Structure formats: C-alpha cells, structure tokens
Structure 1
Amino acid sequence: MSLYRNSAWFVKGVTEFTRNAFVASSKRFVEKDLEVSVAGRAFMITGANSGIGKATAMAIAKKGGTIHMVCRNKDKAEEARADIVKETGNKEVFVHILDLSETRKVWEFAEAFKRKYKALNVLINNAGSIMSQRDVNAEGLEKSFATNVLGLYILTKSLIPLLEKSADPRVITVSSGGMLVQKLRIGNLQSDRGRYDGTMVYAQHKRQQVVMTEQFAKAHANIHFSVMHPGWVDTPAVANAMPDFHRSMRESLRSPEQGADTVVWLAVSEAAATNPSGRFYQDRRMVSTHLPLAWTHSSALEEQKLMSLLDDLAKTFQPH
C-alpha cells in the first residue's frame, strides 16, 4: 500500500480522516443546513447502488429529491432502488445503467438523458475505480483513467447545458485525500509507462478531479462546482480494492452515511452555495488541496493543458 507509506499523508489521515474525526467535526455542523426539502429538484448520482453513493441517494430521497441512479450493475442497482423507495417512501427514484469505463457509451447516455429530461439540478460524480493491475477497455484506454477521469469529464461536460438551464445547478465530485500525495502529471495519462501501482494511479486521478473541478468552475460561473474528500469510509469498493488496509483500519473507518454527509450538504444546503465555486471540502469545511510546504502545486499552464488533452480525447469518442 504505497499510498499509505507517505508519512505526511499518513499523519494527516490518522488525525483527520477517521470516524472519530468525523464525530469531532460534526459538533460544529449547523443542523438547519440540512433541514430542507428538495422536492422538484433532480439529482444524478453515479455509483449510487452502494457505499457513499447509496447513502447519498437515500439521504436526498428522504428530502423529496428526484434521484437518477447511474450504475454499472442492473441487479444491484434495482435492489438498491427498492431499498431507497421502501425506506424513504419516495418513488421518484430512477435507475440508469452505464459503465463509465465505456467511453463512447458515456457520451451516448448523456446525450440521451438530455433529450428525455428537461432539468437536472445536481450532478454528483461519485463512481470510481481502483485497479490492482493495468487493464484497458474495448477502446484501448486504461480502465481506471476511463472511469475516474475521462468518463467523469465527458458526463459533466455533456450535461452542463442541461444544468445551466436548471435552477441552482451544482456539480459535486467525490475525490480522495490520496490526491494530497500527488502532483498533477499529464505526461502519462494512460499509465502505460513505468510500474503500475493502482493506488497511486487512483490518487493521481483524484488530483486530476480536483483540477477539473477548479477549471470547470472558472469556465461555467453560473454552476456551483465542488469537490470533496469523504475520509476513510467502510465501503465495498475499499474492502475489495484494498483488503489489507480495510482489515487493519476497519474499526476506524467512517460509515457510508458519515462519508456521504458532506456530499449531501454540498448538494442541498443553501450554506454550501454561498461559498466560492471550485473549492475542495472535508467535513463541510473548505480545506487546502495541498499539504503544508507541499511540492504538489502545478502551474496554470499544466492545468489548462489537462483540460485540453481531455477535450481532444473526449471528442474522438463523441457520437456524430
């Protein structure tokens, strides 16, 4: 687990990313921030059938929101939908099947969604992928990059016109504190050079998500963009991708509901929308995207180059 051998990351993670840290942080939360009804507002949540995604969908459904669950596995998605409807009484919960690693299908899905639905108020980019070894999709793209970066970029970019036509539009991306040990690198997006370390590749993708959020915010001032770190959360994805870490840290991991708290706050509260767009959050608070004295800062040119590379790559898969 090379990601967790970084001392600065580990010290910060032990002190701030655990269940106990969430409990401590929650003492300053303003309860009325989440005492809202979002009836009539539409929320798209990727990876909504388990973990943070399902907890987010459940919380927003309880507040009356229309939920669009974007999931890879139909059976698991339908099972999760049934749980959400049963617990919340909200039947406005819809399942859409999409594998974000299938690049051309991401475009096709987003374009079809825009044709069918007149509004989307909030997009929550939650789905993610950690690979134990390098693999490519049918289009020749490294799978975790296709899911975590290019798929997210295409889905967001394609849905921006629909978001811009909707009231109080927001885009929230679930990143990871792992990005704190990564400087933006744009010269090896496909991870095809050097040894493949899945956790470090994932952390790099999470850094790229932070940069994408900042750049989208600059380009689309009427949409509120945010990116957040949920802390160390006990989810099936973590258990499957990092079994040793999950086993050793299990007692300190946050629940999916605790991991989802800031996502929900960013998605529904008036307070979140009063903050500047494009910022990084942890436990309902804006935090730095770099550790103190970190070497992880990148130039404006590098950040703009990432967006240009993604745009060019995305266009090669865009339906005509």
Structure 2
Amino acid sequence: MSLYRNIVWFLKGMREYTRDGYEAAHKHFVEKDLETSVAGRSFIITGANSGIGKATAMAIAKKGGTVHLVCRNKDRAEEAREDIIKDTGNREVYVHILDMSETRKVWQFAEEFKRTNTSLNVLINNAGCMVNQKELNVEGLEKNFATNTLGMYILTTSLIPLLEKSCDPRVITVSSGGMLVQKLRTEDLQSERGHFDGTMVYAQNKRQQVVLTQEWAKAHPSIHFSVMHPGWADTPAVAMAMPQFYQTMAGRLRTAEQGADTAIWLAVSPAATSTPSGQFYQDRKAVPVHLPLAWTQSTPQEVQTFMTKLDALAKSFQPA
C-alpha cells in the first residue's frame, strides 16, 4: 500500500505541484480576489524570515497589514524585517524570536502575546522542519513532531481566545501534499517505532496538521480554519532538508512567491472565507485529503484518541 501511495502521489506531484502545475492553475485564478487592503488587521506568521513565510509576510505588508514575524534566528529575522519595510514602506512589521520546537517557550510566547496585544486577525502557521536523523529537543521530544505538530498546536490553541475576539479571524496552516501518503497514527505520535525516516515523519506530521484543522473548524465555528499545500517550491528549507530532490527538480520548482500564493489568498481574500472552514487547499481550491483507494481515512475514535493524547502532552509542558 505504501508503494502504491508513493507512486500515485509522485505522479500527481509531477502534474500539479511543479511550476508548470502552478502556471496551469493560475489561468483560473480570480485576480481581483487579492485586490484588497488589510490595513488595521494583524497577522502572525511563523517561520517568516525566508522562503514561503517571508513571501507571505511581504505580500501582506504591501496590503497594509500589521505583521508579526515569529522566527528562530534573530539576525535573519531582523534582516527580513528590513527587507520587508524597504520593499513595502510599511513599518508595522515586528520581530519575535521563538524556536517552535521548544514547547514551553511556545506556551510562554503565546501567553505574552495575548497580554500585550488586544487583537489578532490571522495566524499563519508556516514554520516547519524536516530533520532526517532522529533528534530530540531540549524537552526530550522528537524534533519534527515538536515543531510541526505540538508547537503549532500549542500556539494555535493558546491564541484562539484572542482570535475569537477579533474581526474575521482566520488560521492558515502551511502543510504539504506529502501527507497524502500517510494515515494518521494514534499509537506512535512521535514516530518512535521502527526505522526512522525523516521524510515520512514529516509527512505524518503534516497529516496530523490536516486532522487538527478539521477538528478546530468543528470546535470553533467563528474562526475560519484552513490548511494548504504550497506545491514543490524553491526554498532554503527544501534545499537543506531534501538536497537530492532539490537538485533533481531544478528548474521545475515553484518560486517562493508561487508557493505562498494560496496562503496569501486564504489570509486576505474575502472569497476564501466564503468556502467552508476546515478544508485542505491547493492553488486556491479545496482538494481531497486522501488519495483514491489509499486507505488513509481515520475513524472518529482514532481522531478523538489523537486529539486527547496531543492535548494531554501539550498541557504537560504548560507553565504553571
């Protein structure tokens, strides 16, 4: 089954996830969807100092939004901030230093942000990692899971009360089409069993993000939740995590701006919130979250088990 999934997914990717796939989809975009000002609206973007995160921040700043860059590296974050201000003329761009893999610090950041800000309109969960060799964070958690799933979960759940008090609140999570090759695992959240394959661990984390988005949409109807696939984009993260894939696909990868397009559309366009909450998007369209005949669906009991375990783990690191 895993071989079938991988083959079907790769063929789909060559057709849809490349630059050619974006250009084909772009012909059907409604350009006026992005002809909007977001002045007075506030946005948090994690992992915003390069790649898709920076491209997203740049586009939102051009439209007048207040942008909070949440980044791990202070020097790169400040450099990104200066680039955005220089290119957009918008000085409402702020830097926050946070490593999303450090679970307790994610809690602390979210609580501090709520204390110092009266509103948050849009949260864009973009930060992610693909560590190919098993590595633990400072709290003993597998690093991919800590960053891609647990950190994102903590940040989002902690900020939901602030989002619910704000106008037209939205949460967008940058996932990956790679999640299509994985079924949600409820008994091994941190991929501790068997051979450790960083690519498949990443794909499992991205499946977890899709499930979280669906469950949040049910639990918090006043917020528009979405999860999206940027396609195969030419970013520093891809070059570092998947060097062989990056070299093989040279010339076929999307630009960072093309990869960011759907996240930007979901964050600013009135058209985006006319679609149901909780869906998975690719090139501005809601698309299926399972490959045909791939048997990756989860039962309601499996989803509930996942949510319960994740919430308990997150709360075990919550500061007193």
Q: Which runs of 4+ in 1 moved over 4 A?
A: 2-5
Aligned length: 319
The correspondence of residues 87-106 of structure 1 with structure 2, limited to 5 A, is 87-106=87-106
Residue type at the aligned position of 1:228? M
**Identity %, equivalent residues:** 71
Aligned to 1:37: 37
The CA RMSD over aligned residues, in Å, is: 1.2
Residue type at the aligned position of 1:62? K
Aligned residues of 1:3 and 1:200 also touching (Cα < 8 A): no
Determine whether 1:156 maps to 2:156.
yes
Aligned to 2:137: 137
Aligned to 1:273: 273
* CA distance in 2: counterparts of 1:21 and 1:51, whole angstroms: 19
Per-residue Cα deviation, 1:225-266 (whole angstroms, up to 9, x for no partner): 000000000000000000000001021000000000000000
* CA distance in 2: counterparts of 1:197 and 1:270, whole angstroms: 40
* CA distance in 2: counterparts of 1:301 and 1:17, whole angstroms: 32
Aligned to 1:313: 313
Q: How big is the shift at 1:4?
A: 11
The correspondence of residues 271-310 of structure 1 with structure 2, limited to 5 A, is 271-310=271-310
* CA distance in 1: counterparts of 2:311 and 2:213, whole angstroms: 14
Aligned to 2:83: 83
Q: How big is the shift at 1:96?
A: 0.2
Scaled by the length of structure 1, the TM-score of the pair is 0.98
- Taking a change above 3 Å as real, the CA distance of residues 30 and 162 of structure 1, as seen in their structure-2 partners, is same
Per-residue Cα deviation, 1:116-144 (whole angstroms, up to 9, x for no partner): 00010000000001011001111110011
* CA distance in 1: counterparts of 2:145 and 2:130, whole angstroms: 10
The correspondence of residues 118-197 of structure 1 with structure 2, limited to 5 A, is 118-197=118-197
- Taking a change above 3 Å as real, the CA distance of residues 5 and 289 of structure 1, as seen in their structure-2 partners, is closer
Scaled by the length of structure 2, the TM-score of the pair is 0.98
- Taking a change above 3 Å as real, the CA distance of residues 90 and 4 of structure 1, as seen in their structure-2 partners, is farther
Secondary structure of 1:21's aligned partner: helix
Determine whether 1:108 maps to 2:108.
yes
Where do 5+ consecutive residues of structure 2 fail to align?
Answer: none
Q: How big is the shift at 1:3?
A: 9.3
* CA distance in 2: counterparts of 1:278 and 1:16, whole angstroms: 22
Secondary structure of 1:45's aligned partner: strand
Residue type at the aligned position of 2:191? S
* CA distance in 1: counterparts of 2:318 and 2:273, whole angstroms: 32
Aligned residues of 2:38 and 2:63 also touching (Cα < 8 A): yes
Secondary structure of 2:107's aligned partner: helix
